[in-house]
Amino acid sequence: MSVFQYYSTLKGLWHELDYYGPFNAINPIDAATFQEWQDNHRLFDFLAGLNVEFELIRAQILSTKPLPSLEDAFSSIQSEDTRRAAMALHAPQERSALYNDSTVANVAF
């Protein structure tokens, strides 16, 4: 499953949970506190479900103070995934001009 598919699946499940279990706070401070808790909880859920290959970016996100939003974390993970995919493309097989087998063979000792 791609990072985008994973994120979309979680967002859909959370949307369904919000629909079936709405939180109705009496006090606006309670609502804000609950929203902050819920946002952090969802961020942790998202990060915990990522593959091991994202461990470094996960650690960077968790060490950020204050914690980023879920959307910002997803954006960082998506950028890292895109970068890895671009790096995995077959690069030209040319060797560096500083060293290759033909220059070593042509050097007289």
9 domain-assigned: yes
pLDDT at position 103, please?
Answer: 47
Length of the chain: 109
The pLDDT tens digits for 12-27 are 999 998 888 777 878 8
Q: Is 56 helix (H, G, I), strand (E, B) or coil?
A: helix
Residue 31's pLDDT is: 82
Higher pLDDT, 28 or 36: 36
pLDDT of 102 reads 55
Q: Phi first, then psi: what are they for 89, rounded to 5°?
A: -60, 150
Q: Give CA separation, 6 vs 12, 39, 46, 78, 108, in Å.
A: 10, 17, 8, 11, 59
**In contact, 61 and 68? CB cutoff 8 Å:** yes
Look at residue 96 and tell me if it is in a domain: no
Residue 56 sits in which domain range? Answer: 3-88
Supply the pTM of this predicted model: 0.72
The per-residue pLDDT for range 64-85, each reduced to its tens digit, is: 999 999 999 999 999 998 888 8
How many domains, the chain? Answer: 1
